[in-house]
Homo-oligomer: A and B are copies of this chain.
Amino acid sequence: MKICLCQLLVKAGQPRENLQRMLGHVAQAKADGADLIIFPELSIPGYLIGDNWDYEAFLRECEACGKELISAARGIAIIFGNVAVDWQKVNRDGHVRKYNALFAAQEERLVAPEGGLYPYCIKTLQPNYREFDDSRYFFSTEMLALEQQETVENLLRPIKLELGGKAYNIGCFICEDGWSENYSYSPIELLCKREKLDFVVNISASPYTLGKNRKRHEIFAAHAQKTGVPLFYANQTGVQNNGKSVYAFDGSGAVYTKEGKLLAVSERFLEKLLYVKWPLEKEGTVPLAEEEPKVLYEALIYAMQHFIAQLGLKKVVIGISGGIDSAVAAALYVRVLGKENVLLVNMPSIYNSNLTKSASQKLAQNLGCAYAIVPIQEAVEHTIRQFENIAIAQNDSVFPAHLKIAPFVAENIQARDRSARILAGIAAAVGAVFSCNANKAEMTVGYSTLYGDLGGFLAVLGDVWKHQVYALAEYINAKVFGQEIIPRQIIEVVPSAELSAAQDVEKGMGDPLLYPYHDYLFASFMQCWQKAAPEDILRWYEDGILEEQIGCQKGLVKKYFPGAKEFIADLEHWWSLFSGMGVAKRIQAPPILAISGRAYGFDQREAQMRPYYTRQYLKLKERLLNE
């Protein structure tokens, strides 16, 4: 008996296309002698489709596609994920009842779990955290238990399939059902305790983030070992988004023996069929290494490829400043689209140094891309002149008759001129889009200009900290191109917006962000498992354990801040920006390629509020300042 795990490339909201691909895989698996093919969760509709679950026409389409797949189960059994609709009942929002369901088919017919309420298995545990919104759309086995005044245990039923002439009793679960560590029970263990199962299947739609696979292998190996039942894990590939956040699905389908050994694993980020013979061998394999920056680079490239293809885009325009972020973005796009489809634009003002201008030129040369220099000085001066000549009819208002353009205002005029005037205009003229190169530290505190450098169709580095950007640059040179494609001076120049004389890189002056420290401080605000508020940061500072807690290099705090006064001023400055203006800017930021344990966008939901400091913080602060 042979089982095929299909690492399906799922396109969100494209049931017919997904069905066609699934039918192809069924035929292939059958030709290859498989007795059973297992597709991932919600293979037909896709997972991240926003509120499109509200369209009944779409639900009927998914049902019809599911039926077609079922009738393809000839000489091979099929397990797949789809939305199931109970047209007689409602969800808790009053819309028609929908289940995130697992279907099994054999001999052109649906095989129902024995004694189940429905002819399919229903997801029991539904995640409602991070980027997940399951209970917004689906009614779970838990909700059914409450509705039917039944126990969850009694609603869990295995599915029996005849494979290679023998009957198999199969425990069928969906994604979160396996991630039960923070629930009061494990659906997999409940069922395994009650029933004698031959194997367990978990079908998933589990987005990739850095380090996630280690955790996945731990969890599913532990289930197999604890229950003594082998486990098959099938996950989607492809790229889906929920508006603000774009997620890559890595697949990484895997088989675990009853001893909890990883027997086989599919290559990540590949649509693929993985065949396993039954009974399972005992020899194990090892999980694919997930070392940064390699896996970060691979995930970014994969996500960009699919997201760009889905939007039907072929060309991109990138503003390159001679800094590290735009250089890395340019190299990534060259790998994704080919150098002939990337137009690099340098937009100097009087504040741009020869260093960064020549570095830009060199980068374009190294990458072999189309390149243009489009100076902004004249347009910016025209704007300032025009502003200073505006005659405002005052009408007893608070406004002056004439405007004075302060240096800070002029800085943002430059940033908007570059993006909203030049890049957006050129992109439209050549039928392309333009890239947003902001990194995660800038995203955190809104160190960027709305309608300026925060513009673009995708923030490819929006979930990548500055130190990771540097690591990517080195990796791109050493491993991807095997030569210094990103010029050394770009890696070595001090990070700077070059919007004023105070940001002169040739004098070593640049951003107010001290990345080796602030990258980690900001991660503690929003990315670390237990987020830190200023109260926590200040307590760690007082206790002398701050660097350890946030994970930055030792000695930096003393180096950057002579005393508590400076430390606190810095902390409050960035916390206020992070929780104030930063939020306002992120609301209008481009989609972000999500890759970390916590990305801005749908994974980090935010409200515009006044920044808040707790009483404990204020007490600590007073004590430290009066010491």
Give CA–CA (A281, B72) in the complex, Å: 69
Given A128-B133, A606-B51, CB of A425 within 8 Å of CB of B413: yes
Give CA–CA (A11, B611) in the complex, Å: 12
A12 and B607 contact, CB distance less than 8 A: yes
Interface residues of A in 389-414 (CB under 8 A from B): 390-400, 403-406, 408-409, 412-413
Interface residues of A in 133-154 (CB under 8 A from B): 133, 135-136, 142, 145-147, 149, 151-152
- Which residues from B are CB-within-8-Å of A383? 379, 421, 425
Q: Does A372 contact B (CB under 8 A)?
A: yes
A609 and B421 contact, CB distance less than 8 A: no
B371 and A395 contact, CB distance less than 8 A: yes
B406 and A605 contact, CB distance less than 8 A: no
B370 and A243 contact, CB distance less than 8 A: no
Which of A104-112, A290-298, A463-471, A580-588 is the contact stretch?
A580-588
* Beta-carbon nearest neighbor of A337 in chain B: B398
- Which residues from B are CB-within-8-Å of A311? 584, 608
Give CA–CA (A130, B136) in the complex, Å: 8
Could you give, for residues 529-558 of chain A, a 1 whenever the CB lies within 8 Å of some chain B CB and a 0 otherwise?
A: 111011110000000000000000000000
Q: Does A369 contact B (CB under 8 A)?
A: yes
Contact among B133, B420, B428 for A409, CB-based, below 8 A: B428
Q: Chain B's nearest CB lies how many Å from the CB of A511?
A: 20
Q: Does A515 contact B (CB under 8 A)?
A: no
Q: Does A492 contact B (CB under 8 A)?
A: no
Q: Does A419 contact B (CB under 8 A)?
A: yes
Question: How many copies make up the complex?
Answer: 2
- Which residues from B are CB-within-8-Å of A241? 607-608
Q: Chain B's nearest CB lies how many Å from the CB of A288?
A: 26
- Assign chain A's interface to a size class: 35 or more
* Beta-carbon nearest neighbor of A393 in chain B: B371
Given A13-B607, A243-B587, CB of A55 within 8 Å of CB of B92: no
A-B contact pairs, 30 of them (CB 8 A): A13-B609, A14-B609, A15-B612, A46-B609, A50-B605, A57-B536, A57-B616, A61-B615, A61-B616, A93-B130, A128-B133, A128-B135, A146-B184, A241-B607, A241-B608, A243-B605, A244-B587, A311-B608, A315-B399, A341-B398, A343-B397, A343-B399, A364-B393, A370-B395, A371-B393, A372-B392, A383-B421, A387-B429, A399-B430, A409-B428
- Chain A residues at the B interface, C-beta cutoff of 8 Å: 11-16, 46, 48-52, 54-58, 60-61, 64, 90-95, 125, 127-130, 133, 135-136, 142, 145-147, 149, 151-152, 181-184, 240-244, 310-312, 314-315, 339-343, 364, 368-372, 374, 378-379, 382-383, 386-387, 390-400, 403-406, 408-409, 412-413, 416-417, 419-421, 424-426, 428-430, 450-452, 455, 457, 529-531, 533-536, 583-584, 586-591, 604-610, 612, 614-617
Given pairs A58-B533, A412-B425, 4 additional interface contacts (CB within 8 A): A93-B129, A145-B146, A340-B396, A370-B398
